[in-house]
Amino acid sequence: MVTIVVEGKTDREFLQDFISKTFDVAKEKYNFKIFDGKDNIFKLSHKYYEEIEKELDTIDKVLIVVDADDPKDECPIRGYEETEQKLKKHIEDLDFNIPIDYFIFSDEEKRGYLESFLLSVLDEEQKKCIKDFKSCFKYELSDKWVYNSFYKHNEYPFDFTHPNFTELKTKLQNLFKEEI
């Protein structure tokens, strides 16, 4: 059994779709723990870590998936580098004695969210269109807004063979090595 730790339901939904469209792994071979936010993932005393600890005889591996966030965001842990450093320390502190890996959703500039990651795989024409629209709009538009407004309704119209998905695929292949 593999446990995937995520911030929220949207992350779980995307990863479920991605796994089902990319790998031949039975849904019974993995589960998700939804922590309701990045800050909660870094709380060692969170109830889901207690659950994982109690289930270590059935859990083989854990993957923690978080957003990089934007360095200008108000959350305490923001930006790719800060998130990565904190994750490495957090994994050590968890001390579960099973393999734990992580993946950080971000765009090409190593910032952002799941939505930024997904928008990063669009073709150049679509990216230019979004950039032009954002620059002429009176208010600052986040990647979450753009994604939810233009792309979410198309049920992930993304090419999962795009190179930006390679690292995620590799992490999941390692996670499901015995299952594939």
What's the whole-number mean pLDDT along residues 56-81? Answer: 88
CA distance 30 to 15: 11
Residue 141 pLDDT class (50, 70, 90 cuts): confident
Residue 139 lies in a domain: yes
- Select the more confidently predicted residue: 67 or 150: 67
Q: Report residue 2's pLDDT band, with 50, 70 and 90 as the boundaries.
A: very high
In a domain, residue 141? The reply is yes
Q: List Cβ neighbours of 26 (8 Å cut-off, separation of 6 or more).
A: 179
What is the C-alpha radius of gyration for the chain, rounded to an integer number of angstroms? Answer: 17
Residue 88 CA: distances (Å) to CA of 27, 44, 57, 96, 102: 28, 13, 23, 13, 9
User: Do the beta carbons of residue 113 and residue 68 sit within 8 Å?
Assistant: yes
Rounded mean pLDDT, 150-159? 64
Residue 9 reports pLDDT greater than 70: yes
Residue 132 has pLDDT above 90, yes or no: no
Does residue 180 form part of some domain?
no
Phi, psi for 154 (deg, rounded to 5): -90, 10
Q: Is residue 61 part of a domain?
A: yes
Q: Is the pLDDT of residue 157 over 70?
A: no
Half-sphere exposure of 32 (CA within 13 A, CB side): 17
For 69, 78, 98, 139, the CA distances from 110, given in Å and listed in that order, are 9, 11, 28, 23
| Count of the separate structural domains present in the chain | 1
* Residue 145 covered by a domain: yes
Counted residue by residue, the chain has a size of 180
Average pLDDT value for the chain: 89
Asked if the structure places residue 81 within a domain, the reply is yes
In a domain, 55, yes or no: yes
Q: What's the pLDDT at 54?
A: 94
pTM of structure:
0.90
Domain residues for the domain of 132 are 2-175
Please answer whether residues 76 and 39 qualify as being in contact, where contact means their C-beta atoms are separated by less than 8 angstroms. yes
